[in-house]
Each structure stands twice: as structure tokens, then as C-alpha cells.
A and B are shown apart, each in its own frame.
Chain A
Amino acid sequence: MRAIDPPQKLGSRAMPIDPDLKGILDERLSVRNAAPYQPLLLSEMKESVGLFLRDTFPHQEAVDVLRLGGGASKEQFVVIARDREGRIEKYVVRADPLETVTVTNRRRESEVLRLAHGIMPVPEVICLDCDGRFFKQPTIVMRFVDGVTKPANSPRGVTGIGVAFGSRLRDQLKTQFLDHLVALHAIDVNTAPLKNFSVPSANTHEATSWQLGYWNEIWRQDATEEVPIISYVGEWLVRNRPVTEKPVMLHTDYRTGNFLFDEQSGAITAILDWEMAHVGDFHEEVAQILQPTTAVRDAGVWRANDMFERQELLDAYEAASGRSIDAVTLRYYELFWAYKVYICTVGTASSVARAQHSHQDLVLATLAGMSPLLLERMCNLLEAA
């Protein structure tokens, strides 16, 4: 079902923004001219961890605090603590640098993790500190989960790209990967306890419009020059917005590199990086899984996240979820994916790296290397539309 607005009256700059994200977008402008960010010192983190443990787990003390690698957005540390009986507990601390490649906040991340907990494997949130009670920056503390994001023999590279599982792990992972996704989409967002998420109205353009408004505003804030195809695709996406029948909770970064698994058993132990979660159209999520950056070719066959061939994923999702995938809407969101990831990796990443506002400026500078692929992707999808 499509409700048609007169498209010429609603250019891309006129799109409304998700009400819960508008404030975040306004806030980030206030730090735009701040001095370069100094990454957290290990000594500072140890002090904060000490305060946190004394308050939350007074029978534990920190044995070690180590800085984790990976990720383009949060400063991450693992805390090894020991209680009076000598039992070891481990936690992961995720702290915001001054700016990150994703424009969101820890309250939303914490809330969706608590929502998903018990429904699918996710890290348990122990503490959300946005008020500086223990930590210098907005921080989430989660219980550590064992697992890896890629097989041991994988090449070094930016998160998720080029990771091949091979046939054994593929067969072990793919059903779980899909089942967890379907479980997430099955959550009733109208009755779930969501204080930090607005729910777009069903059977309207709202879900799509809010996302367009959000990404267009990010581009407006971060771009140092216009990019013609971005201007054009932005207008195209407004003109062709689908109606969302029933908005669902979306992860929207559901891919290789964002889940942990046990390499021996193939069990998915945790789904990570929920910061871009929002309520929207399930087609957006399916399109995200099909995107090319984490696709792998094995014996001449391309598989999304080295798990599913295209039609295989669509058939499996429909069978597992009971939903019907609309081909036109799916193609819309595939173009939308390329558009928003371009804005993120070329616009925001470059802007934050230039300002030296993160601890990972070099990773952010690397993300711009996705530009050729994204430009080509947008061209191909436009021609096929």
C-alpha cells in the first residue's frame, strides 16, 4: 500500500526528524569547535572503575583494566575483577569520545539492550552512567561475553569486511543469525517499555521520513562540499518513500563483525553494537543484511555476511517471520542503505577525524575508502529502479 504525497512539495530538507534523535543532533553542534579529544588514560579509567565497583559490587576489586581494540565509535575497555572468594568477573566498559561516527546516545543503546535481553543473546547492561557519577564520559558497563567476531585465521581489516566463515561455521551460524533477527522484529514496540524511542505511526511514511530527516541533517552538519549523487538520491528517496505497515524494532547494523560467536561450537554468544537501533521498517534491516561490504564470494557464489545468497535470505526471512517482503520497498532500502552509509563514512567520519574528536581518527579516516563502492552501488540501484 502506498500513500502518495505530492513529492515536489517535500524536498529532502523538509523531512521531519525522529523526535528522540533531534536533541542529539542539536547537541553535537555545540561540540563542533571543541579542541582535539584526548583519549582516556588507563589510569583515569582504573580510577573510574574503582568507583564503579565500590558502589555496585563492593565485594569485588579490579585486578586489571585493559584497553580493547576494534570499533570506530566507542573507547572500550575490559575490566577483570575478583571477589573475596577469588572468582573472576569480567566487564566491558564502552565510553563515548567527544564525537563518534554514529550520532546516537547511550540511553537508547542501554534501553534496547535491556529490551532484547532474554529474547536473544546480548550483553547484560550493568550500569548506564550519563551523569558523570563514575566515568568522565557517557558510559555503559556490560557483562563481558566470551566469543570472537571473526575466525582466528581472518585477515586484519576494518570491522566485518572480508570476513569469511567457511562452510562449517556458515551452516552453524546462519539459522541462529536469522532466528535472532526475527525474534527482535517480533517485539511489540507499542507495549514494550521504551522511554527513549519514538514509535512511528503504522501505515504512514513516518518511519521512512524520520530516517531521511535524521540522515539529511547529519549530512547538512558534516559535509564540507556537496556530492551530486547524494543530492539526487536524497530527493529520490523522498519522492519514493514507502509506507510502513507495521514498524518494528531494528538493530540496523546487524552483520558480520557485530556479533560474537564461539568458534568451536558455532554458537552466537552476543549481538553487539546496538547504538543505531530504532523503530522502523523491517525492509530496512533486510536490506542492511544484503549490503555488499560484508558479502563474501566463495567458489563463485556471493553470500551476504558469508551466510546467505540473496533469494535464500529473502525466502528464509519470510518463512521464519511470516512477513512478506515487498521487492520495491526492499530495493528502496538498499539504496537508502548506500546513501546513509556514505553520509556516515564519508561525511561524519571525515568530519570527526578532521576535528580530531575521537580516539580512532585513523579508523575514521579509513572509512572514507568505502566511497567508491558506495557511489557505484547508488548508481547501480538507481539504474535498476
Chain B
Amino acid sequence: MFLTIDDRLACVSRALEAVIIPALPPEQMLAIEQAHLSVMHIRALLGQATELSAAVDAELQDATSLRDQLCEVAELQGEKPPHSSSSSSVPEPYEKILAEVDNRIRQISANGDEQQWLAMRAPIIRHARARAQAEAYWFAEFGMPSLDNV
């Protein structure tokens, strides 16, 4: 019976477009710009509230996967990385996993082992591409250039 989050966002967007923006004096350029940007952001948010949980899970899974792959890269030289906690039932904070990945990257870069350095490139690129695809959906309404010419 009550309006959903999307319904309310749509109401705000309509109020901006149909009432507020037309009432702004044309010389108020910054206000007009900000109002149009507000509409754009609201449109981008429509539908995303219900999808957020799945998106966060996917991010976490991708990061955990990358950490595990970089541990395998380290094992190429017989290094025994710390026990990976990816098999634990307690979810780890996303930032902590990324911090571990960052440390691993810097470690491998610093140790001078070219084989390890080259081996970690592919999983990092795969991870970045997966993030790019996921984010492209998230930012679809932002009017940014497409991925066609990059």
C-alpha cells in the first residue's frame, strides 16, 4: 500500500523536472545544473536499492577470489602465504581483503621476482574488468562515455 523507495524517488524526480527546474530563473546557471544533476542521480538510483545486497556480495566474492589467486602466485616460488581465511564461515570485511591484496601486490613487486610479477597481472586485470562491467551497470544513467573506445 505504501509507496516503495522507487516510487518516492520517482516523485522527487518529477517534482524537480516538472515544477522546480522550470521555475528557476535562466541566469541561475549553477542552480539549474545542480537540479538536472539531481534528476540524473535519482534516475540512476531507481531500481538499485533492491539490487544493492547482491552487488555487495559479488564484490566481496571477486575480491576474495583475487586474494586467493595472488596467494597461488606467491606459492609459485615456494612461498607459503598465510592461511587463507576464505573457507571460514565468518564473512571478512571487504576493506580487509582488499588491503591484503594490496600488500601482496607490493610485496611481489618489491621482491624482484619477474615471474611472480608477470603472473599476477592476469588475475588483477580479470578482477578490474569484472568490476568495470558491474560498475557500468551501476552508473548507466550518468551519461559517461561508453566502454567502446577505451
Residues of A within 8 A of B (CB): 6-9, 11-13, 66-70, 155-158, 161-162, 224-229, 231-232, 235, 239, 292-293, 295, 297, 302, 359-360, 362-363, 365-366, 368-373, 375-380, 382-383
Question: Is A231's CB under 8 angstroms from B33's CB?
Answer: no
Select the residue from B32, B63, B111, B144 with max chain A CB neighbours within 10 A. B144
CA distance A155 to B111 in the complex (A): 50
Closest to A238 in B: B109
Question: Is A231's CB under 8 angstroms from B94's CB?
Answer: no
Choose, from B9-17, B76-84, B97-105, the stretch at the interface. B97-105
Question: Is B147's CB under 8 angstroms from A373's CB?
Answer: yes
Q: Does B128 contact A (CB under 8 A)?
A: yes
Q: Does B8 contact A (CB under 8 A)?
A: no
Instruction: From known contacts A8-B109, A228-B102, infer whether A376 and B144 are also in contact, taking CB-CB under 8 Å.
Output: no
1-45 of chain B: CB within 8 A of chain A: 27-30, 32-34, 36-38, 40-41
Q: Does B49 contact A (CB under 8 A)?
A: no
Question: Is B106's CB under 8 angstroms from A235's CB?
Answer: yes
> Interface residues of A: mostly helix, strand, loop or mixed?
helix
Question: Is A382's CB under 8 angstroms from B149's CB?
Answer: no
CB of B118 to closest CB in A, whole Å:
11
Question: Is B139's CB under 8 angstroms from A369's CB?
Answer: yes
Which residues from chain B contact A161 at a C-beta distance below 8 Å? 143-145
Q: Does B135 contact A (CB under 8 A)?
A: yes
Which residues from chain B contact A12 at a C-beta distance below 8 Å? 106
Question: Is B30's CB under 8 angstroms from A68's CB?
Answer: yes
Question: Is B37's CB under 8 angstroms from A366's CB?
Answer: yes
Which residues from chain A contact B135 at a C-beta distance below 8 Å? 371-372, 375
A-B contact pairs, 10 of them (CB 8 A): A6-B112, A226-B99, A227-B98, A232-B120, A235-B106, A295-B149, A370-B144, A372-B136, A373-B145, A375-B132
> Interface residues of B: mostly helix, strand, loop or mixed?
helix
CA distance A373 to B133 in the complex (A): 9
11 more A-B residue pairs beyond the given contacts A293-B145, A369-B144, A376-B132, with a C-beta to C-beta distance below 8 A: A157-B143, A225-B95, A228-B101, A228-B124, A229-B124, A231-B102, A362-B37, A370-B144, A373-B144, A373-B145, A375-B128
Which residues from chain A contact B124 at a C-beta distance below 8 Å? 228-229, 232
Question: Is A11's CB under 8 angstroms from B109's CB?
Answer: yes
Question: Is B125's CB under 8 angstroms from A382's CB?
Answer: yes
CA distance A377 to B41 in the complex (A): 24
Question: Is B101's CB under 8 angstroms from A162's CB?
Answer: no
Question: Is B41's CB under 8 angstroms from A365's CB?
Answer: yes
